[in-house]
Amino acid sequence: MSLWIERWRRLIWGAEALWGAGVAHTTVSLGEGGRSVACIGPAGERKVLLAAIMNDGTRALARGGVGAAMGAKRLKAIVVSEEGKSSIAEPERFDFYRYESEKLLKASPLTAHGLPEFGTAALVNVLNAAGALPTRNYQQCSFEGAEAISGEALKERFVIGKRGCWGCPIACTRRTEVDGVRGEGPEYETIWALGADCGIDDLKAIVHANYLCNELGIDTISMGATIACAMELTERGLLPQGPRFGDAGMLLPLVEATALRRGLGDELAEGSARLSKRYGAPECSMQVKGLEMPAYDPRAMQAQGLAYATSNRGACHLRANMMGSTLLGLPKLVDRLNGSGQAGLLIELQNLNAALDSLVLCKFGHWALAEEHYSRLVSAVTGRRYEEAELLQIGERIWTLERLINLGRGFSKKDDTLPDRMLHDAAPCGPAEGKVVELEPMLAEYYRFRGWSKDGIPTERKLSELGLREYGRQLLPC
């Protein structure tokens, strides 16, 4: 079935004819007349735990298996059809704030040059030079083939143009073409997951695999990380005839097999945590709370480890990415090899990102804009005055509510952790050589600054401050 939203009325519409169809066909069929479509592909229909929801063809709501959730409800797509423009309460004031925000976006080399010219793939060389590019299932911290899969290489070989989301002045999306096939991407995370993490430096193969993930509706990060896990299991002799690091030729077959749950793909479809446990080596899964870690080695960015460990949906760079302060110097550079004292920075970023997600605002803007821009823009649009502190408190409320839900479902401090490899196996090379993630002291600092107990439970005082006491009573286990 599909869910249609037109003029704010919801209609359930049969979509049996589209069940089994790929993302492109589904989007074109349902998106006629300028409608917006969020759909699942064959992966979501088969409840693959790595399945994504694809919005308008190539924009992925990827992490956490949300596509599988839709597939479990046999919901193929959500279609929205609306006419007219949104209203803005104070258009002149909004225009002023928008103009001032655009000035900053144009002034920042990241948002004015780096992202527009290379897309997110520009980060490959940056992270590699920092010794923070996880390689071969996080066994190494830098990749000898990084140049071949860098943003520069992508631009030289496959980029035919760029695209931005509606109204965006950055336009970070790469339009690419390979072997006569056109598509979008790959992004940095995809290049890393299907490239360095698998020991693969074949950029053409990575581009093709990215297209296939989009068409089948799969999270590229979890896909690549799960393949990398399988590769390590093979290397250890635990997975007979499994894929090997560096074998680019098996990327497409494995992605397809995963989406369709065939052969080894049926095992990969369950994610790296279940895969590695099945073969008796759970330490081979680089995941937190079941979600595979993305493209930043926390041994070289200590506070990023804290971000992964405390993210409510598992290891996620979108909930908070400490790359800003630890590598890019935004707002100022902090010591990335010593996470002490950075819990406050992380918490503020988590709260802000929760608010930005709620506003459906791109996080790349924050690489040039400050909280004051967001609060003023929202105030002008809504006609209600939002202060910066209030916006952040809204984000904190969202974050804390998510935490309460997790606690109510059995998550606890023991889940705010990292894979053993990050805690016990030192980085073998690069600027972070010899480092493991010193998580315990950072976590203690984090709980204290959050106003939570030593066990990571929001206190009565904090819940009262946020107006969440009633939720605490309902959701926290007795």
Partner 1 sequence: MITRRGSMLAHLEEHDLIETGVGENDSGVMLASSELVVHRAIYQNSWALAVCHCHPPYAVALSLVQDEIIPVDSEGSYMLHRVPVLGAEHTIGSTEVAEILSEALKEYKIVMLRGHGCFAIGHMLEEAYQWCSTLEAAATIICHLRALGGDVKDYRKGADRFTNW
Residue 110: strand, helix, or coil: helix
The residue (of 283 and 335) whose beta carbon lies closer to partner 1 is: 335
DSSP secondary structure letter of residue 151: H
DSSP secondary structure letter of residue 376: H
State which of positions 359-388 bind partner 1 (CB under 8 A).
370-372, 375-376, 387-388
- Cβ at position 389, least distance to partner 1 in Å: 4
Applying CB under 8 A, which of residues 348, 402, 425, 438 lies at the interface with partner 1? 348
Applying CB under 8 A, which of residues 28, 389, 429, 444 lies at the interface with partner 1? 389
Q: Which of 80, 91, 48, 84 is nearest to 66 (CA)?
A: 48
Q: Does 390 bind partner 1 (CB under 8 A)?
A: yes
Q: Which of 335, 313, 287, 327 is nearest to 435 (CA)?
A: 335
Q: Does 89 bind partner 1 (CB under 8 A)?
A: no
Q: Does 429 bind partner 1 (CB under 8 A)?
A: no
Q: Does 102 bind partner 1 (CB under 8 A)?
A: no
Q: In angstroms, rounded to a whole number, what is the distance separating the alpha carbons of residues 191 and 205?
A: 10
Question: What single string gives the DSSP state of each residue in 189-253?
Answer: HHHHHHTGGGT---HHHHHHHHHHHHHHTB-HHHHHHHHHHHHHHHHTT-STT---TT-GGGHHH
Q: What track of x and - describes contact with partner 1 for positions 279 through 318 (by CB under 8 A)? A: ----------------------------------------
The residue (of 255 and 381) whose beta carbon lies closer to partner 1 is: 381
Q: Does 100 bind partner 1 (CB under 8 A)?
A: yes
The region of 221-229, 241-249, 260-268, 331-339 touching partner 1 under the rule CB under 8 A is 331-339
Residue 278: strand, helix, or coil: helix
Cis peptide before 282 (omega within 30 of 0): no
Q: Which of 405, 403, 407, 443 is nearest to 422 (CA)?
A: 443
Give, for 325, the enclosing helix (H) or strand (E). helix 323-326
For residue 276, CA distances in Å to 234, 285, 309, 331 come to: 11, 6, 20, 39
The region of 91-99, 129-137, 172-180, 466-474 touching partner 1 under the rule CB under 8 A is 91-99
Q: What track of x and - describes contact with partner 1 for positions 135 through 164 (by CB under 8 A)? A: ------------------------------
Helix 220-235 to helix 271-278 angle (10° resolution) is 20
- Cβ at position 383, least distance to partner 1 in Å: 15
Q: Does 96 bind partner 1 (CB under 8 A)?
A: yes
Q: In angstroms, rounded to a whole number, what is the distance separating the alpha carbons of residues 16 and 83?
A: 27
**Strands (E) located in 52-170:** 53-55, 59-61, 77-81, 159-163
First-to-last CA distance in the chain? 40
Q: Does 326 bind partner 1 (CB under 8 A)?
A: no
- Cβ at position 462, least distance to partner 1 in Å: 13
Q: What are phi and psi of 83, to 5 degrees?
A: -120, 160
Applying CB under 8 A, which of residues 25, 35, 59, 93 lies at the interface with partner 1? 93
- Cβ at position 90, least distance to partner 1 in Å: 10
With CB under 8 A as the rule, give the number of residues binding partner 1: 24
The β-bridge partners of 78 are 3, 38
- Cβ at position 390, least distance to partner 1 in Å: 7
Q: What are the residue ranges of helices labelled H in 18-65?
A: 23-30, 42-45
Applying CB under 8 A, which of residues 99, 166, 167, 384 lies at the interface with partner 1? 99
- Cβ at position 451, least distance to partner 1 in Å: 11
The residue (of 174 and 366) whose beta carbon lies closer to partner 1 is: 366
The region of 98-106, 180-188, 310-318, 424-432 touching partner 1 under the rule CB under 8 A is 98-106
Applying CB under 8 A, which of residues 332, 384, 409, 414 lies at the interface with partner 1? 332
- Cβ at position 131, least distance to partner 1 in Å: 24
Q: Are 225 and 272 in contact (CB under 8 A)?
A: yes
> Which residues form the interface with partner 1 (CB under 8 A)?
93, 96, 99-100, 103-104, 107, 325, 331-332, 334, 344-345, 348, 370-372, 375-376, 387-390, 392
